[in-house]
Chain A
Amino acid sequence: MSLRRQPSRATAKPSPVSSSLFINSTIDLFLEQFSQFVRRHITENKSETVLVAGPPCCGKTKLLEYIFNKVYNEDISLNERLFIFRLNGLIHSIESLAIQEILSQYNIQQKTTNDYQCDNLQILLETISNEKKDKKAFFIFTLDHFEQFTYQKLNSILYTLFDAVYLNQKSYSILTIAISNRSDCLELPEKRLKSRFSQIYYILSSPSIDEYTKYILQLYKIKKDIQIPNDLFNSLTNIEQKIIHYLRDSNINMNENTRPDQQLDGCLTHLELLLLLMTNNVIKRIDEKLQNKINGTNESDDDDNDDEENKSGIMTDTKFTFDQIYHEYSKYVLKNQKYFYDKAVVRKTFLHLIERGFIRRYVGRYASVDEPLSSEHTMIMVINSDELKQYVESKPLPAEIKRYAKLNTII
């Protein structure tokens, strides 16, 4: 059976639902094809490379683990000869670290405490395979976050694994499974590595939310019917966690916004809110000045776009300093004594806003994160002006704050 670039359409009969794995027709087809691929690596003693790509948390690793367990269970004699090593590009992209991890996993699988002193992956693999004497060793390497391996130039792990396809080793064979969220990750390696890759790849997609929800409910033997709203950031893990949350606490709101930008309610004091409004005002004035300068040099090309930006309410990435905000604050308290506080009090309040993420500091490359806030530190505002507007309009706030917000026509 040839391996196609795309998974075939659902023509195979669906197999009975496994209790530990969600299976639909597409997944079943993938399982069948990939299992055959793995068995071929063992029976034909052929080194191979393959890519499994798909969106994050769509089940790539889980499906592969299922296949490996199935292969182990089918032939018990393989336990001594089949070695599966799971590497992660985020922490094992350097050869020395990968070797330590491979050794550790080998000892777990074989229940030994061998400590081979190897600097080189190829030597390690030969050492392990030589232990088996007459029997051939089959190595399967899963490289999770494969793109992280490719970011390193002359990555010796990849060279060792990919070269095995052409070396025709008699004592062992290597099946390298690259796993990635990026479908373009085959474009990332160097030219020499690209040429060594077999160009076989599978692209997986997540099942539908309804299907997966039903499966999870069946798994936990729940007869309720739960509707998970269609969220842009839904992944299988997310759906399962939402269901667990709901099953444990049925009072939760399933339609709640999972990515609130900021929590304004139940958070801010009056002085903090006033400072946020003043920051908004200062940013607006800086933007206007900048716009006037641009309009002075280039006439009218960007006018339409600017109008759209202003209407959307999204803050521009304008930087400001604490001094500018304090200057605005000083002008305000000259007329309104109610919120008159010392500069140190205002600075501390500002630091609280930074701590809570309403304002973000730009930290230079050589500056310490803990450096005390100075007048020259630049910052950007994180909060959306539309949200701030809605909050000021809807909540019972002191009249002075509402008047300031209205009079300055910031929002």
Chain B
Amino acid sequence: MLSLSDSYSCRLSICSSLEKLFSSNPTIPYPSHVYIYGNNNTGKSTIIKYILNKYNHTILWFDCREIYSLNMFYHTFISLLSNNIIPVMKNFNDFIRILRDLSIQDMNNNNNKKKKTKQYYFVVLHHIELLLNYDTTGHLLYLLFKLNELTLGYFHHTLILIGHQPFYQLPQMNQIEAELGVLTPITIFVPAYTRTEIVTILQNILTQQQDILPSSISQLQIIIELALQSFYIVTNDLIELKDMITMCIKDFLRSNTKKQINDDGTNHDYRILYQKEFFMQVLNSVYTRSMSIPKFLDTHTADEETTDKSSHISTINNKNNTRDLPLSAKFLLIAIYLATQNPIKYDRMLYDKQNQGKKSRRAKIMHKRTQLESSKIEYLPLSSNKSISLNRLLAIYCSLQGDTIPLTTQIYTQLSLLTSMRLIELVGSSNETGIINLNEPKYRCTSSNDYVRRVAASIDFKIDNLILV
């Protein structure tokens, strides 16, 4: 017996309700009309096929994307029932007559073979909206619902329609309801996958594809989560997401084989690779179908996205050909590092450029440094991992950036980028109750000392000038 793959484990409740509808029952008949709807690629047709096959039902399956006219639909319908030469059908009337004749023929054959059970069909129309677009009279849906009556009761069937819209929004429903009567099928809604479900499904699918398996499952998960951060806002279509994320993973593996990674125990390269600009390029080209996946891979890589940025990033030193964070993200990282290194009470001295006084800031820092070294008190080494409040972090960041670059809401996206790349970490603040204080979130720097210094060096930032100890 066929079984649903693990990808459909989140559809168990819908599966079970459909199974109950279509399981054999000696006393209760099958429902006459069922309408299943939901977003694209949510598993509707797969589940229906599985359930109907499970009970060995006779299925007449029509994918309306492959039907280009009503005559083609009639022809396909009859050809599924009969191997004989099909007479020409010009209209619905011809279709009904031929269908009825075939059903009577079937019935007579069954009687001759002394079969007690009547032949029962499950007619499935997938993407029903496309078929209804060919209907010029506006009556096709109504006539399909009345198929049993029109064939004088000889064609026993259940009609299953699969679409995207609610039933009463289907084309020409207003006309049908006004003129002919209200159609009331059993409707089942299949919701779109949630983000958690998509992560699980993609992990299952992608780990089965051996050629793109990364070295560890955790890396795969991180890549999927990073990509979903950009993609999920735009689309929740499973196939689209799968194609785009597969492409991102291929790109990652391809660049991995080129580079020799010095594994110093903190392999952060994969986090640096997937920057937002690369994902945006994927959305703008592959998602919109303006470029195919192979062409995109030939012309783009996450490396190149760093060189195509706007002017304020053009000062990035690319001598080492390393993949780079956005400039604002780098300053944020430096700011949190400095905040962790220096006590709060010296912030004004270090970062407030206006209250210079007679002594210059540099002079003050040197003086304080000697004081601290002599007293050997009150410094916060990185290993203490103290969390820094957001306001303090932003204040230091603004001081480092200067007045020319205003503080915008984009800073929050940079913060979330750094968080998702695990360079910083959002932590709780209350010592007593352990509940995160959302009024003032706190962050902790989880990047290594060397890494932050490398980042500062890449933008010619002299970080040592602002460290007291």
State the A residues within 8 Å of B (CB): 55-57, 61, 86, 88, 90-92, 97, 100-101, 104-105, 108, 145, 181, 220-221, 233, 235, 237-238, 241, 244-245, 247-249, 251-252, 258-263, 265-267, 269-271, 336-339, 341-342, 344-345, 347-349, 352, 355-357, 369, 382
Please name 26 pairs of A and B residues whose Cβ atoms are closer than 8 Å in the assembled complex, sorted by A. Answer: A56-B180, A86-B152, A88-B146, A91-B93, A91-B150, A97-B93, A104-B97, A181-B180, A221-B27, A235-B182, A238-B184, A244-B29, A262-B166, A265-B191, A267-B192, A271-B234, A337-B409, A341-B234, A342-B280, A344-B290, A345-B284, A345-B288, A347-B288, A356-B165, A357-B164, A357-B169
Q: Are A104 and B101 in contact (CB under 8 A)?
A: yes
CB contacts (< 8 Å) of B92 on chain A: these are 91
Q: Is the CB of A108 within 8 A of B152?
A: yes
Nearest-neighbor residue (CB-CB) of B289 within chain A: A348
Asked if A356 and B93 sit within 8 Å, CB to CB, the answer is no
Residues on B with beta carbons closer than 8 Å to the beta carbon of A270? 233
Closest CB of chain A to B450's CB: distance in Å? 32
Interface residues of B in 139-183 (CB under 8 A from A): 139, 142-143, 146, 149-150, 152, 164-166, 168-169, 180-182
The distance in angstroms between the C-alpha atoms of A369 and B100, with both chains bound, is 33
**Are A356 and B164 in touch, CB under 8 angstroms?**
yes
B138 nearest CB neighbor, chain A only: A90
- In the complex, whether B390 has a CB less than 8 A from a CB of chain A is no
Query: Are the C-beta atoms of A249 and B17 separated by less than 8 Å?
Result: yes
B381: chain A residues at CB < 8 Å are none
Contact pick for A100, options B20, B97, B164, B413, CB 8 Å: B97
Query: What are the residues of chain B within 8 A of A261 when measuring CB–CB?
Result: 166, 168-169
Are A337 and B410 in contact, CB atoms less than 8 angstroms apart?
Answer: yes
The answer on a CB contact under 8 Å between A262 and B169 is yes
Residues from chain A with Cβ under 8 Å of B101 in the complex: 104
From residue B356, how far is it (CB to closest CB) to chain A in Å?
A: 34
7 more CB-based (< 8 A) A-B contacts, given A101-B93, A244-B29: A61-B149, A221-B27, A244-B30, A248-B20, A252-B17, A269-B236, A356-B39
In the complex, what residues of B have CB within 8 A of residue A339's CB? 233
| Complex partner residue of A271 from B23, B33, B146, B233, CB under 8 angstroms | B233
Q: How far is the CA of A73 from the CA of B40 in the complex (A)?
A: 53
Question: Are the CB atoms of A108 and B104 closer together than 8 Å?
Answer: yes
B287 within 8 A of A: yes
Cα A101 to Cα B181 in complex, Å, equals: 24
* Pairwise interchain contact A91-B184, C-beta atoms closer than 8 A: no
Check B232 for interface membership: any CB of A closer than 8 A.
yes
Contacts A97-B93, A263-B189, A345-B284 given; does A269 touch B233 at CB 8 Å: yes
B290 touches A100 (CB 8 A): no
**A258 and B184 contact, CB distance less than 8 A:** yes
- A90: chain B residues at CB < 8 Å are 137, 139, 142-143, 180
Known A241-B33, A249-B17, A337-B408: A342·B182 in contact at CB below 8 Å: no
Please give me the residue from chain B that is nearest to A247 by CB atom.
B28
Tell me if B164 and A91 are in contact (CB < 8 A): no
User: A178 vs B152: C-alpha distance in the bound complex, in angstroms?
Assistant: 18
